[in-house]
Amino acid sequence: MSSADPNCIFCKIVAGQIPAKKVFEDDQLLAFHDIAPWAPVHVLVIPKQHIATLADVGPEHDALLGRMLGLAPQLMKQLGVTGGFRTVINTGPDGGQEVYHLHMHVMGGPRPWAKG
């Protein structure tokens, strides 16, 4: 496992240095509510291992990525989302990534991103 980045806000959340409203945690993953939600239910799923972007993963991360994606429907069900949800991984500056620690947004509820 890569060492944590001391300047990374998500590494600080994993270490317990910054509080988060957690919805799931195990030895590899942490999921918590986004502080600036785009939907009624908006959680972030992050690996505890510091990986800067999706572009930095390799075959050795296949199982981790599968666990992240597989956790999404479980969390949405647990949080009462019944009409579907969206998963998003922003990658790099052109992909809109703001925090350089791999994370997956999982958003459910009415679709604020839909054109009205």
Residues designated catalytic: 103
Distances in Å between the Cα of 108 and the Cα atoms of 27, 45, 62, 65, 114 are 25, 14, 25, 20, 12
CA-to-CA distance for 111 and 93, rounded, in angstroms? 25
Locate 64 and state its tokens: 């981790």
Indicate the residue type of 46.
Answer: I
Surface-to-core class of residue 104, CB atoms within 10 Å of its CB (0-12 exposed, 13-18 middle, 19+ buried): buried
